[in-house]
Structure 1
């Protein structure tokens, strides 16, 4: 087959346990010379080793996420509760397990961007030039 491949890493790379392995994975993707690399991750720090700060980050993140779920008009209460139950399992992982047993280790977008740049990826997005706000108190920015 001809043409370039597209690598879709949607909500996947935060499950890689160490910073080194995350960087190595991104470097391996770069070696594949993809036509596009889609990296989609929550912009929150659940990799934080300090429990109190991680708890605060978790609370803010899921508080806003649950607000968004509550505002979805196209689904009923049962489906909204099912979504919250799904994310409740993530909350349990983030604040209820020892670090070695956790898999929901989200990081700020800036960390992922730094890894992409270290692997010589070109970042193509006007969203990184200025802070972006998107309802419910969500803000995305890059230093």
Structure 2
């Protein structure tokens, strides 16, 4: 959806001088890569510039610096986008260096912009009490937001049970070796950006659509989406320039 919106905005911009966009999709699930390719094929028919797609099957943290550099070679301007994905990267319990090294590899690619979207909660810890505290606050707030929405009771149940319920079961029902829902607080991601050499994009105010009962707080390189005073989702925009 984010990629579709970006390409559409480029198409509608009369000042746009883009001639070629190369999309590199990295995902461990071949089905997701195929779906992205199919969506791009439909959109490509109406775009005034050329779009090519390169699917890469694998976990982003498993690729070496040389492999990442080879993926993006040949382009003039690199844009990196990770939406609700990097909290799935595996690291040993309470390890704070694995994701930092991944960000350092990204930094050496010199992206024009690195956008990141992540839930704001701390489940990447071996401490059960801390995990429970943050899980209760985060998902409790999300469930309250869902309950206040205009969705039907059936839709509310499906979202809470089939989507978020699966995440909660993973957070508490899986061993640290196999747990994949490893959310972190937004200030942890900000520190990781800074330690990797990234700088926040100034005057960052993306057009975000949220319900009337939610709030958005903007600062350089960061937008915090909240409900009842609690940040639920963080949107980052960082650069190496």
| 1:16 equivalent among 89, 103, 106 | 89
Structure 1: state its 5+ residue gaps: none
Residues 52 and 13 of structure 1: is their aligned pair in 2 closer, same or farther, counting only changes over 3 Å? same
For the aligned residue pairs, the C-alpha RMSD in angstroms reads 2.4
Kindly indicate which of the two structures has a greater share of residues assigned to strand: 2
Tell me the number of residue pairs that the alignment of Structure 1 and Structure 2 aligns. Answer: 138
Residue of structure 1 in register with 2:127 after alignment: 50
TM-score (norm 2): 0.52
Q: Secondary structure at the match of 1:49?
A: coil
Greater than 3 Å deviation, 4+ residue runs:
none
Aligned 8 A contact 1:10 1:40 in 2: yes
CA distance in 2, matches of 1:8, 1:134: 22
Superposition map of 1:91-130 within 5 A: 91-124=168-201, 126-127=218-219
Aligned 8 A contact 1:44 1:107 in 2: yes
Residue of structure 1 in register with 2:159 after alignment: 83
CA distance in 2, matches of 1:95, 1:127: 33
TM-score (norm 1): 0.83
Deviations, residues 68-121 of structure 1 (Å, cap 9, x unaligned):
112222x32222222112010000011112211211111111111111111110
Structure of greater Rg: 2
User: Larger relative contact order (C-alpha < 8 A, sep ≥ 6)?
Assistant: 1
Q: Secondary structure at the match of 1:99?
A: coil
Which stretch shows the higher mean deviation, 62-71 or 13-22?
A: 13-22
CA distance in 1, matches of 2:119, 2:226: 14
